[in-house]
Structure 1
Amino acid sequence: MNVFPDYNNNIINISASLAAYLGLRTSYPRSDILSAVLKREYKNVVLIVFDALGYHNIRRHLEPGDFLRRHIRKKITSVFPSTTTNATATMMSLSYPGEHCWLGWSLYFSEIGAAVDVLLKKLSGRDESAPAGLIDGAIPYECYYNLIENPKIPAYTVFPEIVDRGHSENHFTYDSFDELFETLASLCRLPERKLIFAYSSEPDTAMHGFGAGSPAAGKVIREINARVAAFASEAGDDALLVVTADHGQIDITRHIELYRDQELAGFLSRPLSLEGRAASIAIASGREKEFRDYFLAKYAGSKLYRAEELIASGVFGVGVKARGREFLGDYIAVPEDGAAFLLHGQASPYPGNHGGLLPGEMEVPLIIWAK
């Protein structure tokens, strides 16, 4: 069963509640559970986003009594496509996918006639950098925690060294779990009230490398659980800890080399892009019916969604900017099983992946702990 974003039960609600806590006025729906807890004036409010630590992956790898699983307050939805690019932009900017337009890993820019891996700033499937300034010039966004002048509650960000977006004025980097949690503990000892927003690329990296259900992924998730539990025990009586994920991840059962399909290529007006589990397809003029007949016959395990219908149904929030509309193309092809498309010759055939609409990709936990 496919799961679509529910923006009243979504990762964006976490950001809306935290923004209100900082004093920012916003019309985005808040998390009722988190907002109720935030009525208390905590000295430290700590949000940790673990990449791909989905609701189902926690239940798969942790016991009912383990810290993270025990403190799940609610199952919430991610955004679509269910990918880091889209989800972290949503959480950092406090805006819908159709507003920030960082919709997927690979986005097609008409001004250069090529798709770009926007987080890596390189042309998709090529060993060539994207033109300087292209991405930030086309799809800029501001982080909500940087919009408040002279804030009474300052925001701190703690990200891996390689993450070059979303920094607050008080930004810290780390390169290991030890350093991450040492930094969090050190910041919590500062006397002022504060919001700390931390991000970890695990267990996403382990799952991509070995599979969502692999022993290697389970080992990383159990370490995360132990680290967070230890941090909570030392955080003090005046701390609120919120843990969630940007999206989940599933095991991939087969890879489909879509880029090798020359008959399919004849229907297209531009290269494939977006995500391996949510491929953007733009159709050459007058070829739509032929394309649909061909695709649905050959790739029967996948669902074709008209981009306009997804937009109209609110999948990307309230409307989509022109740039986002361009990125989406005419159709989004989503495998309904565990398959993943390879969109170009350099695409990695990961054992684990995400981006689609299955519960394992779309459902994430809202974990809340306070003494």
Structure 2
Amino acid sequence: MTSGPGVPDWSAATLASVLPSVADSLGVSGFAGADRFGLPPAPRSVVVLVDGLGYDLLAQRSGHAPFLRQHLAAAKRIPCGFPTTTATSMGSFGTGLPSGSHGLVGFQVLDPATDRLLNELSWEDGPDPFRWQPRRTVFQAAQDDGVSVTRVGPHYFDGSGLTNAALRGGRFVAARHLGERVTASVERVAAARRSLVYLYWGDVDKIGHVHGCQSWQWGDEVESVDRALASLAERVPDDTSIVITADHGMVDVPFDQRLDLAHEPELMDGIRHLGGEPRNLQLYLRPGTAETVAQAWRERLGSLARVMTREQAVDEGWFGATVPEVLPRIGDLVVTMQDRFAVVHSGLMRKEILALLGVHGSTSEEELAVPVIVVPPRRAALGR
């Protein structure tokens, strides 16, 4: 495998390193030496994932986040992995593996067994998630080692396909509002001598999609999250570490900077399934058409997109170490949009997707870079 420009260095710190590092700090068997962030040893930890809170966005708009800003100088800026989309990042976060190993390789990908697209976020009519992603998660490993593991999020995450594939292990506690999730996290992390709590919050991403990540609404939501995280830090037991990260960043793409494939029939020639998402399409082709389709897309889009074959994307390392059973899930062609540009299909994509101003999925630094912010325990651990 060669390394292409901008490809995440999977031997260094990535989003896949976060939970293994926390497991190391908790003394979980099998994770000694896994820490990539210099986490202090602690018997308790709360890991917060704020969906859509990219490092560059946070740094740019840190005036909205005084609590996070005071920790930003010591924060790590790491790649989330590829594609820069929630389902893929949750797989990397939960398993500690790159997407080519855990197999959650995009927003919409091909299920080779049924020759249908699988939306890995909604998992509607999807395959058995335990077979689709059979690797043990870090939560399962921590639970097996005697750590009390709790995942805190919206009720509809409990038992969902994506949760079972990427984040299984421990107990799930449902809470709707962010304040309720903070309270649940404080209670659960204090309930056992060794404990790991995972708290998820998705509204930064939702607001960024609808209003744009440069909007005042996005800033207001970050202010709310910042206040909640400050409260969390005040209320957890004093031997608890807090690690804050995200699953991807985001860019705003004006609607006049989008190409609609519904009006470009020549670009749909040879395509059986249109997978991926507007910033990162995965094209599943009829046999023998790859060269012709790739040439047509490169000529039409020019510098606005990079068109890679599956073999090229894998060889350059975008998906990390890729196991054979995952290869057919990746598009025959992988098209990553450059600059502020997106490709949609108004006849195939849901209108809710077409209406999103803030988008992600591609390889820009704004989409790839996420923070790892560590709030150390107020009291050093005397022993595990």
Q: TM-score normalized by structure 1?
A: 0.88
When residues 15 and 288 of structure 1 are mapped into structure 2, their CA distance, relative to the original with a 3 A threshold, is same
Shift of 1:259: 4.8
> Counterparts in 2 of 1:114-129, with a 5 A limit?
114-122=116-124
Give, as a single letter, the amino acid of the residue that structure 2 aligns with 1:146: Q
1:32 to 17, 36, 51: 36
Could you tell me which residue of structure 2 aligns to residue 316 of structure 1? 319
1:219-368 aligned at under 5 Å gives the runs 219-253=220-254, 254-268=257-271, 270-300=272-302, 301-318=304-321, 320-343=322-345, 344-346=348-350, 348-349=353-354, 350-368=356-374
Residue 190 of structure 1 corresponds to: 191
Matches of residues 32-51 of structure 1 in structure 2 within 5 Å? 32-33=36-37, 36-38=38-40, 40=41, 42-51=42-51
Aligned pair partner of 1:369 in 359, 368, 375: 375
Query: What displacement does 1:50 show?
Result: 0.5
The equivalent of 2:79 in structure 1 is: 77
Secondary structure, aligned partner of 1:59: helix
Residues 10-31 of structure 1 show CA distances to partners (whole Å, capped at 9, x for unaligned) of: 111112212333523159x834
Q: Secondary structure at the match of 2:203?
A: coil
Indicate how the Cα distance of structure 1 residues 64 and 30 shifts in structure 2: closer, same or farther if over 3 A, else same: farther
Identify if the C-alpha distance between structure 1 residues 142 and 296 changes in structure 2 by more than 3 Å, giving closer, same or farther. Answer: same
Instruction: Specify the SS of the correspondent of 1:71.
Output: helix
Aligned-pair CA distance for 1:167: 4.0
Identify the match of residue 23 of structure 1 among 14, 24, 28. Answer: 28
1:165-204 correspondence runs (5 A)? 165=163, 166-204=167-205
Could you tell me which runs of 5 or more consecutive residues in structure 2 were left unpaired when the two chains were aligned: 379-384
Q: In the TM superposition, what is the alpha-carbon distance from 1:241 to its structure 2 partner?
A: 0.8
1:113 maps to: 115
Q: More helix by proportion, 1 or 2?
A: 2
Offset of residue 64 of structure 1: 9.0
1:118 CA drift (Å) = 2.3
1:111 alignment partner, SS class: coil
Distance 1:119 1:223 in 2: 25
Give the Cα separation in 1 of the matches to 2:115 and 2:54.
Answer: 35
**Per-residue CA distance 1:239-285 (angstroms, 9 max, x = gap):** 211100011111112332235532122222x2110222111123333
Secondary structure of the structure 2 residue equivalent to 1:79: coil
How has the CA–CA distance of structure 1 residues 279 and 185 changed in structure 2, closer, same or farther, with 3 Å as cutoff?
same
Amino acid at match of 2:9: D
Q: Equivalent pairs: percent with the same residue?
A: 19
CA distance in 1, matches of 2:205, 2:143: 35
What residue number does 2:382 align with? none
Tell me the secondary structure at the aligned position of residue 110 of structure 2.
Answer: strand
Residue aligned with 1:285, SS: coil
User: 1:126 — aligned with what?
Assistant: none
Contact 1:159 1:173 in 2 (8 A): yes
Q: What residue ranges of structure 1 are gaps of 5+ in the alignment? A: 123-129
In 1, Cα distance between equivalents of 2:100 and 2:290: 24
